[in-house]
Amino acid sequence: GAIARLPATTRRVMELHYREGVECLQISAQLDVSVHMVRKHIGKGLEACRQALGTREGA
């Protein structure tokens, strides 16, 4: 699916945040990236899911 096609870091961030319930601050420490980058990866992952489902933000 859409998640499997994501870059590895984005996929891992999505799995940690949505599957395992890990907070952004903890993900940033675990993956050694900034919280800002964690949030960008989440946004990128969500957008990929929206596109895969054929939905647009606000629709």
User: Is residue 56 within 8 Å of 25, Cβ to Cβ?
Assistant: no
Farthest CA pair distance, the chain:
35
Q: Torsion over CA of 12, 40, 45 and 23, rounded to 10 degrees?
A: 50
For residue 56, pLDDT beyond 80? no
Q: How do the domains of the chain map onto residue ranges? A: 8-53
pTM for the full predicted model: 0.85
pLDDT digits (tens, 9 = 90+) for 1-30: 888 899 999 999 999 999 999 999 999 999
pLDDT digits (tens, 9 = 90+) for 40-55: 999 999 999 999 999 6
